[in-house]
Amino acid sequence: MLRLPRSMLTRYERFSLYNSPYPAHDSGCAIDLYGPEAGSGTPSPVAGVVRETRTVRAPDKPYAHDEEYLILVDVDAEATGLGWAGSPDADPREDLVARILHVAPEVRAGDELAVGDSLGRLVRSGFFAPWVSNHIHLGFRTGDANPHRAQGSLPVVADVDVSALPWDGRGTVVEVGETFVRLDAPTRNGEHGAGEFVGLASDEGVVLDGGVAHYGLGGTLSPVADETPLSLLGTEVGRTDGRDVPWGSFDVFANGDRVTGLSLFASQVEFDAKVVCSDHEFELGDDVTVTIRPSENPIRLD
């Protein structure tokens, strides 16, 4: 398992290993890096030499760019700060290729990159659900693997501690989108310093990651034993399978109305629960209570 260093992750406001329906993220085999979107371009999470850039057609969505982009980088693992958490005999770091998606490239084959160099501009991809914010998708392959296939990346782990934020399900709407609302809770407090990542805690104090439960499979960002039952807002949501959490059968509600779910991630800025809810009527300043109830027919988008 590749260990992604703190020096990489703190360049971005948020990250998630599981908040995606795509197989590339299964078992944490890719990471999405969110923000910042303004300024001098999208910072590269890796150092190395650009091997190839490629443009492909993306699904036709009214809110998205017509094209998707793939940037392949032959990685300098030492300069990137990558660690390895497996057998020394299986260490792949001498021959790694990074797959970077959702960036319109301003680099080309042969360019040398340092961590933090601009890759180009983030694009809103047709592969995104409408509530998903712009981000970099990052995965790694060994040099002998096909770098163009969607599946086949190595598992990665964020080499940072993520503090657990407890939540009672209540908050006030501070942002309204067509398919989501963002609440002002749960919030970090004085115990959480600058640059410290936080995430939503299960009732047991385990940090959860992913789309609860519309993406079917989530994960944990805290160390936890296998087959550990986890609950959220008083309802069991799944049992761990390694660090994966296949979600159970339950529904998410906001003020008593069924919604699509919750988008979870780790954040070094304000956390702010994101409630995914198409065709909602929430407005800025509305008080919202999120609840979870067992169900035989949960919403699934995978």
For the stretch 121-135, pLDDT in tens is: 999 988 888 999 999
Q: Where are the alpha helices (DSSP H) in 15-96?
A: 77-80
Residue 190, pLDDT above cutoff 70: no
Does the CA dihedral 90-50-21-156 come out positive or negative? positive
Among 230, 248, 232, residue whose Cα is nearest residue 240: 230
Q: What CA–CA distance (Å, rounded) separates 82 from 97?
A: 12
Q: Quick one: which H or E segment has residue 276?
A: strand 274-276
Which band of pLDDT confidence, cut at 50, 70 and 90, is reported for residue 150? confident
Q: What CA–CA distance (Å, rounded) separates 47 from 112?
A: 8
- On whether the CB atoms of residues 253 and 259 are closer than 8 A, the answer is yes
Which band of pLDDT confidence, cut at 50, 70 and 90, is reported for residue 188? confident
Q: What is the pLDDT of residues 79-109, one digit of tens each?
A: 999 999 989 999 999 999 999 999 999 999 9
Query: Looking at residues 273-290, what average pLDDT do you find?
Result: 96
Q: What CA–CA distance (Å, rounded) separates 247 from 260?
A: 14
Q: According to the model, what pLDDT value does residue 181 have? A: 98
Residue 38, pLDDT above cutoff 60: no
Type of residue numbered 212: V
Q: Where are the alpha helices (DSSP H) in the chain?
A: 6-9, 77-80
Q: What is the mean pLDDT of the chain?
A: 93
Residue 302, pLDDT above cutoff 60: no
Query: Looking at residues 123-149, what average pLDDT do you find?
Result: 93
Among 224, 168, 162, residue whose Cα is nearest residue 198: 162
Q: What CA–CA distance (Å, rounded) separates 273 from 265?
A: 9
Q: What CA–CA distance (Å, rounded) separates 279 from 178?
A: 7
Q: According to the model, what pLDDT value does residue 37 have? A: 64
Residue 194, pLDDT above cutoff 60: yes
Q: According to the model, what pLDDT value does residue 299 have? A: 67
Q: What CA–CA distance (Å, rounded) separates 145 from 140?
A: 10
Q: According to the model, what pLDDT value does residue 262 have? A: 98
Q: According to the model, what pLDDT value does residue 40 have? A: 60
pTM: 0.94
Q: How is residue 223 written in tokens? A: 């160390």
As a whole-number percent, the residues of the chain with pLDDT over 90 amount to 81
Q: How is residue 70 written in tokens? A: 């793939």
Q: According to the model, what pLDDT value does residue 42 have? A: 92
Mean pLDDT lowest among 20-29, 45-54, 267-276: 20-29
- On whether the CB atoms of residues 276 and 264 are closer than 8 A, the answer is no
